[in-house]
Amino acid sequence: MSDLLNTTSLDELRSVLGDEFFELSRMFAQQVESEVAGLSECFAQGDVQRLRRLAHSLKGCCANMGVQELSRQASIIEKAAMVNDTATIQTLLPALAPLATQSLNAMREAGYLASAN
């Protein structure tokens, strides 16, 4: 889990936000799922500029929440999109959804995200 999550960042956020942290983490999970799906859709449509913007957004929200490996992968995809490197995007994109699921599950297991209903 240490590669997936920065628990120090998550603990600090939870300490500062209190109960609001769990609402934030719920919204974060929804955003991650939406943006990961959007990245695949953009790639399928050949919309590399929108893909770049979504990857940038995913990178930032994950970094803010301490979901470091997903942020790192989104950053690589964003950089590839900046130079229209569709081969790299095509290679990395299929692993993004499983990584997002793994990251959100790690958040649940560590008590940072309520269990999915």
pLDDT digits (tens, 9 = 90+) for 4-52: 999 999 999 999 999 999 999 999 999 999 999 999 999 999 999 999 9
Please report whether residue 95 resides in a domain: yes
**Is the residue at 36 inside a domain?**
yes
Spatial neighbors of 77 by CB under 8 A, at least 6 apart, are: 39, 51, 55, 88, 89, 92, 93, 96
- Which pLDDT score, from 0 to 100, does residue 116 have? 62
Write the CATH number for 16.
1.20.120.160
Q: Domain count for the chain, please give it.
A: 1
pTM: 0.92
Residue 88 inside a domain? The answer is: yes
pLDDT at residue 8, rounded to an integer: 95
Task: Show the domain range for 33.
Answer: 7-109
Answer yes or no: is 56 within a domain: yes
**pLDDT tens track for 73-85:** 999 999 999 999 9
Q: What is the pLDDT of residue 114?
A: 86
CA pair distance 25, 9, nearest whole angstrom: 13
How sure is the predictor about 115, in pLDDT bands with cuts at 50, 70 and 90? confident
For residue 114, being part of any structural domain is answered with: no
